[in-house]
Structure 1
């Protein structure tokens, strides 16, 4: 894959094995997982499996989430980016084989505009570099922050659908943006 993006305050690059501590800090945090099925990782081995999964997507699918690095500190603060969902386990709202945009940050970096800043860069990359025709987004209806970002970057609300995590079902908002409507 080897793509790199840059914004005013952030570098976005491939997730590397050296991001293990940061990924663990992110994925072991209960606040981060509040709207993701409440299943934070408990070990570095589980965090490494998440890194391996993303790195495999780069090889097999040509795209995957980017590590987000804060320029002023050099810190790994989370991830943001596009994902090609191709298998049945990744189907959402009746869709399979689609590109979605997502982001996840360590809580001490919340409310700084990093989600919006990184999502704008990823959307531009998706439409202008990767030449995707449609990008989708999904967010738990209770996740106000994620829903705000998806709307601010121009994705349009399509519908609400039930999503079953292991033990619970939650309602999720589904959004889409077509390339011809990007930037309008």
Structure 2
């Protein structure tokens, strides 16, 4: 993984602008929203010393999505959250789990967080399964944008 750069816009659009990949978001992103996503992460790197990073396959240097830690408003608390978006042709190959696991280790061992969260709509079973694979357990539920969300958590001492 590496920091996102504006030149990643076209590759990142393959996931963030794809209706199937973004089915759990309010809508797929347009070009301006993808640019703003990258800008948001560039700001996160400065403010929080972390954000979503580009996920690059070691073989062939191929961009396959993003994954990382962002500070999210989860039920009115600002909490560190692992998020990821993988281009659908790379789904079900373990890449999201591998990247999320690396981010979890980074959160505990480098950033010093004692716990890390993930949240998504109840409908987003694939993301919940990735969270479970990296050791996350159900923490609580809350409503956002008129839809029930599930929050999962793992603690540093569970590593």
Q: What do you get for the CA RMSD once the two structures are aligned?
A: 1.3
Task: State the partner residue of 1:9.
Answer: none
Task: State the partner residue of 2:13.
Answer: 24
Task: State the partner residue of 1:124.
Answer: 105
Counterpart pick for 1:176 among 147, 153, 156: 153
Task: Report if the CA contact (8 A) 1:127-1:179 is conserved.
Answer: yes
Task: State the partner residue of 1:146.
Answer: 127
Distance 1:18 1:71 in 2: 19
How far 1:27 moved relative to its partner? Answer: 1.2
Distance 2:134 2:21 in 1: 21
Distance 1:62 1:46 in 2: 22
- Gaps (5+ residues) in structure 1? 1-11, 86-90
TM-score, structure 1 as length reference: 0.82
Distance 1:64 1:133 in 2: 17
Moved over 3 A (4+): none
How far 1:160 moved relative to its partner? Answer: 2.0
Task: Report if the CA contact (8 A) 1:20-1:48 is conserved.
Answer: yes
- Taking the TM superposition and a 5 Å limit, the aligned residue runs for 1:90-101 are 91-96=73-78, 98-101=79-82
Task: Report if the CA contact (8 A) 1:161-1:173 is conserved.
Answer: yes
Distance 1:46 1:84 in 2: 19
TM-score, structure 2 as length reference: 0.94
Counterpart pick for 1:82 among 53, 57, 69: 69
Counterpart pick for 2:4 among 4, 15, 25: 15
Task: Report if the CA contact (8 A) 1:93-1:174 is conserved.
Answer: no
How far 1:94 moved relative to its partner? Answer: 3.0
Local SS of the residue matching 2:70? strand
Task: Report if the CA contact (8 A) 2:80-2:117 is conserved.
Answer: yes
